[in-house]
Amino acid sequence: MEVIKEFRWALLVMMVLLLHGSWHSYGCWETERIALLQLQAHFNYSIQFDYYDYWGSYYYYSDDVKYSDDVKCCNWERVRCSAATGHVTQLLLGEIRGWNSFEHWYLNASLFLPFQRLKMIDLGFNNIAGCIKNEGFEKLSTLENLEFLNLGFNNFNTNILSSLSHLSSLKYLYLYGNEMKGRIDIQELNNLTNLRELYLMDNKIEGFKSLHDGEKLLNMSNLEFLDMRGNNFSNDILLSIKGLSSLKTLWIGYNLLKGPFNLTG
């Protein structure tokens, strides 16, 4: 009986997938396959390239899928899918254009919307200066599973924070090595209520401000790790971080802090 039940369940799943008409046997949802090709065109890159992944495994993928109808997009370099559903969950798009190798360019963030199960987007080292008008990161607020966003070593300024503040599902945000200067609106960071790790190092940030003369405290209750090295923070930054009740690690070297200071008062 158990075997029959399992067979019926498997048959039901297959029928649902066939009726849906989107997930093919070669492991790629049709809407996501089309979206990947649009991303490829937007980034102006070929699928043929070397890539050094997060675990240090160097490998080479040589299939030219640009003109292929039989596209196994879950096997493409820089694409990771769920083994259970076949949906794209990670897009590792770092260093496609190369940092300081090309002129600044503008991203169309709406191109990520077809990937509704997306958990991770890596856009580091791409020389991105911002987003196309009305196509910013706020569009991604519907991606409820998005937890990891790497925008490190691009050319974003502080204006990027207003669009990122809509991404309440984020847990890991990398903004290191950009062109963020002056004082940034503290509320735009406080809206990221689920954030656990925030990387702001190697910018030119001086501190935080409140546009409505409210409290200038960071109060992200889930933030555990904060890296602010290599900015222009002075001693008053210590007042702003007192509200981080879950903070375990703070990196704040190479700033403009002077003299003795009290982190517990």
User: What DSSP string describes 156-191?
Assistant: --TTHHHHHTT-TT-SEEE-TTS--EEEEEHHHHHT
Which range has the worst mean pLDDT, 62-76, 92-106, 160-174, 211-225?
Answer: 62-76
61-66 average pLDDT score: 32
| Arithmetic mean of pLDDT over the chain | 81
**pLDDT single digits (tens) 113-127:** 999 999 999 999 999
Q: What is the pLDDT of residue 67?
A: 30
**pLDDT single digits (tens) 203-260:** 999 999 887 665 678 999 999 999 999 999 999 898 889 889 999 999 999 999 998 8
Q: Report the C-alpha gap between 215 and 237 in whole angstroms.
A: 13
Residue 249 CB-density burial (10 A; 0-12 exposed, 13-18 middle, 19+ buried): exposed
Cα angle: 89, vertex 45, 98; to 5 degrees: 90
Report which of residues 74 and 117 the model is more confident about.
117
Q: Report the C-alpha gap between 166 and 176 in whole angstroms.
A: 19
pLDDT greater than 50 at residue 53 = no
Q: What is the pLDDT of residue 214?
A: 59
Q: What is the pLDDT of residue 99?
A: 62
